[in-house]
Structure 1
Amino acid sequence: MNKKHVAVIGAAGQVGTPLTKGLLSLGHQVTIIFRAHNAQNDAKLTEFETLGATLVECPDMKNVNALAKALRGVDTFVASVPGSKEIIREFEPLWLEAAVKAGVKRFVPTEFGAHTQALEMGDGEIFDQKKRFHDQLMNSSLDWTLFYNGGIFDYFLPNLRFFSKITTFGDLNIPIYTHDIEDIGYLAAMAVTDDRTVNRCVQLDYNALTQNEMLTQIKQNWPDTPFEYEHFSTEYIIEQKESSGDEITAKKGSETDKERWGINYVIYVIDKLAAFTDQTLRASEIYPDYVCKRPQDALKDEKFIFEG
């Protein structure tokens, strides 16, 4: 694999941290663009710098000229940030403009979740925003890679961390593709620097369990534990997708209710957390020797299940 110069925004985030460590461990030149040092990111940024990354402070992430200056000589730009409406509508178009101005070759937008390219407009508000930006990206002069990891263990395996009860949604027999965050970051680092993935989608597909299979394993692993369960039906998800507004009432996350139920609709009703379109490469086929952590093992881990 040819060594690349990769710029990352969001390097200290949930996916950004293992992604950046992966890029550095693979020997790529890494430039981290960040707004400012703070208590949340300082230790990670210091670690990245020790590992060889270049840090570029950019207080105004909408300053196209400043970003273009930071991106000179960069092969690939990665937006490893949460895909909020504000980021997608107000920031990414400016980052794309800066990347074009700087002569960047490949742009990797914020995805790291459900397979947006396989969705139709109207399937979910946040995905509609992403699809509109994808049109801008694909009509630009830059190459691109869309990386889809499906779910993250922390959010998709039945557990007691984010809800008071084990919570399930929609069709319990839909296969849920879910992976450990460290694997996601490292595989993303490989994918966004791989010449085979230029102008392609990459779908992680090593692990798949239905919600029913997950629940069965929980019961088998802790037969004497009296779990409480809550289920949101397909009909309820559809109703909430259509009727919810812009309030933020979820215990975990910053999505609006409308966005959150749109995400649940895509995953648990129309089965598009993962997808395998003609333009999609399966990670298990392009990286057949990579061994992922298994959800079956996480579901046996008492600390993972109960402490989080």
Structure 2
Amino acid sequence: MDKKHIAVIGATGQIGTPLSKGLLLLGHDVTIITRARSAKNDTKLAEFEKQGAKIVECADMHDVDSMANILQGIDTLVASVPGSKEIIQKSEPIWLEAAVKAGVERFVPTEFGSHTQAIEMGDGEIFDQKKRFHDLLMNSGIGWTLYYNGGIFDYFLPNLRFFRKITTFGNLELPIHTHDIEDIGYIAAMVVTDERTLNKCVQVDYNVLTQNEMLAQIKQNWPDYPFEYEHFSSEYITEMKENAGDEITSKKGAETDKERWGINYVNYVIGKLAAFTDLTLRASELYPAYVCKRPEEALSDAKFVFED
């Protein structure tokens, strides 16, 4: 791949960290945009600097002119940030305007999860917001790539780190595409610098198991452990998608309850965690030699399954 100059917002985040590391390992020029250095992010930023990244502070990332100045000479801007209502409705339109003003060639918005383009309006509140932004993005004249990694091992493989019981959702026979965070980040680094992915969706599709297959793995690996189980039915998820409120009650959650149940509805009831539309490329076909960590490895790791 040709060397690119990539700007990343959210480089010290969950996906932003392995994404930025991957970009640097692949030999690209990387500019990391942050509001300010702090005790929370300084160690990672210093590590990226040692690897050759440029760190740029922008106190007001909602100032179009300031952002446009930073983005001069950038090929691709990646928003690797949580897909909150504020980010999608307020921040991304400003970053998009700045990118267009600066002549950036490609904008990669905060997707990194379920396949928004394959979801209908009304299927989930957070996806409705993303779809509205997609309309703005695709009418802006800038190039784009929508990256869909499916699920992250930590949240989609059964374990006892986030729940007291082994917890399952919806249709247990739906295919669940899920990958390790390091693989997700590195594949993203390849995707956002690949000319073949311009104006395309990319679905990460190396690993797929049903929840029933995951449960069988747990039982096989830990036959004597007295697991307790809890299941949220498709009917319950559908009801909560419609009627849940704006509180945030999930352990380590960032989404409101209504947004969270909408995500569960999309993933576990209508099966759109991964999808393959006419505009969707498969990562396994783009990068057939890439070897991902397998979910079976995580489900045989006691630290992964049991760590509090």
Same fold (TM over 0.5): yes
Unmatched runs of 5 consecutive residues or more in structure 1: none
Q: Using the alignment, how far apart are the partners of 2:167 and 2:66 within structure 1?
A: 45
1:279 corresponds in structure 2 to 279
Taking the aligned partners of 2:186 and 2:208, their CA distance within structure 1 comes to 19
CA deviation map 1:155-174 (0-9, x unaligned)? 00000000111100000000
Quote the offset at 1:251 in angstroms.
1.2
Aligned position for 1:124: 124
Give the aligned partner of residue 169 of structure 2: 169
1:64-103 residue pairs with structure 2 within 5 A? 64-103=64-103
* Partner of residue 269, structure 2: 269
The whole-number CA distance in structure 1 between the counterparts of 2:275 and 2:40 is: 34
Map 1:212-251 → 2, pairs under 5 A: 212-251=212-251
Q: Which amino acid aligns with 2:183?
A: D
CA displacement 1:130-162 (0-9 Å, x = unmatched): 000000000001000000000000100000000
Cα distance in 1 for partners of 2:245, 2:161 equals: 26
Q: Percent identity?
A: 77
Q: State the superposition RMSD in angstroms.
A: 0.6
Deviations 1:238-292 (A, max 9, x none): 0101111111111121100100000000000000000000000000001000000
Equivalence for 2:145: 145
Partner residue of 1:192?
192
In the alignment, the residues of structure 1 paired with residue 35 and residue 162 of structure 2 have an alpha-carbon distance, to the nearest angstrom, of 29
Unpaired stretches in structure 2, ≥5 consecutive residues: none
1-structure distance, mates of 2:228, 2:59:
46
Question: Structure 1 length normalisation: TM-score?
Answer: 0.99
Deviation string 1:155-201 (CA, Å, 9 cap, x unpaired) is: 00000000111100000000110000000000000000000000000
Q: Aligned letter for 1:50?
A: K
Task: Give the equivalent residue in structure 2 for 1:26.
Answer: 26
- In the alignment, which residue of structure 2 is the partner of 1:58? 58
Is 1:203 the counterpart of 2:181 in the alignment? no
Q: Establish whether residue 114 from structure 1 lines up as the match of residue 106 from structure 2.
A: no
SS in 2 for 1:140: coil
Aligned to 1:13: 13
Distance 2:244 2:274 in 1: 25
